[in-house]
């Protein structure tokens, strides 16, 4: 009798482990970006330039520079960092046009990665 109880407890323990294990996997599978912000490789070439390419360069390329703002090429981007408008625009700061214009605000993760890069001195890396 005692042996049986011990077995049941062990089986229950294993089941609980299994169920919570699967539950965790499901959450990560269903919401892959929830709480997880990839902050590795926050470099100009690794993250910032591709992010601008995807979200901004349609309107801010060398050939089509809306508002005379070019976000292609490091020195052009750096100029918008120095005048405070790059971060101001994506963080919807007062006094700066919110960007992407007429689009969805960038994710918190993207915005914080841009800030991280700027705080590091906006290096050309
Ligand atoms: C659909 C076109 C479009 C997209 C996409 C876009 N912009 Fe703009 N942007 C504009 C226009 C047009 C202006 C000129 C000012 C205005 O109309 O608000 C502008 C102005 C700016 C300015 C100057 C703002 C000021 O107040 O002086 C900055 C900085 C800027 N954009 C950054 C960005 C960034 C960063 C992105 C991507 C996250 C982006 N833009 C995406 C169209 C766009």
CA of 123 to the centre of ligand 1 (A): 22
| pLDDT given for residue 14 in this prediction | 60
Write the burial class of residue 125 (CB in 10 Å: 0-12 exposed, 13-18 middle, 19+ buried): middle
Number of other CB atoms surrounding residue 56 within 10 Å: 25
Give pLDDT tens digits along the chain (125 positions): 567 776 766 666 565 555 565 555 655 555 555 668 999 889 999 999 999 999 999 999 999 999 999 999 999 999 999 999 999 999 999 999 999 999 999 999 999 999 999 999 999 99
Q: Is 69 in the pocket of ligand 1 (CB under 6 A)?
A: yes
Q: Are residues 83 and 114 in the same domain?
A: yes
Q: Which domain holds residue 15?
A: 1-36
Q: Are the C-beta atoms of 70 and 61 separated by less than 8 Å?
A: yes
Give the closest residue (by CA) to ligand 1 atom 36. Answer: 56
**Residues paired with residue 60 on neighbouring β-strands, in sequence order:** 65
**Cα(91)–Cα(99) distance, integer angstroms:** 8
| pLDDT given for residue 8 in this prediction | 66
Q: Are residues 56 and 101 in the same domain?
A: yes
Give the closest residue (by CA) to ligand 1 atom 20. Answer: 67
Q: Total structural domains in the chain?
A: 2
Query: φ, ψ for residue 3 (rounded to 5)?
Result: -60, -40
**Domain for residue 124, yes or no?**
no
């Amino acid at each position: 009798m005692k042996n049986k109880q011990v077995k049941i407890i062990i089986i229950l323990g294993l089941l609980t482990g299994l169920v919570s294990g699967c539950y965790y996997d499901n959450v990560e599978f269903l919401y892959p970006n929830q709480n997880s912000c990839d902050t590795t490789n926050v470099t100009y070439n690794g993250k910032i330039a591709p992010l601008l390419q995807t979200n901004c360069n349609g309107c801010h390329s060398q050939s089509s520079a809306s508002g005379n703002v070019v976000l292609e090429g490091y020195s052009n981007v750096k100029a918008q960092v120095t005048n405070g408008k790059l971060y101001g625009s994506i963080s919807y700061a007062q006094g700066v046009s919110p960007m992407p214009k007429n689009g969805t605000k960038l994710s918190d993760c993207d915005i914080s990665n841009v800030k991280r890069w700027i705080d590091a001195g906006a290096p050309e890396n």
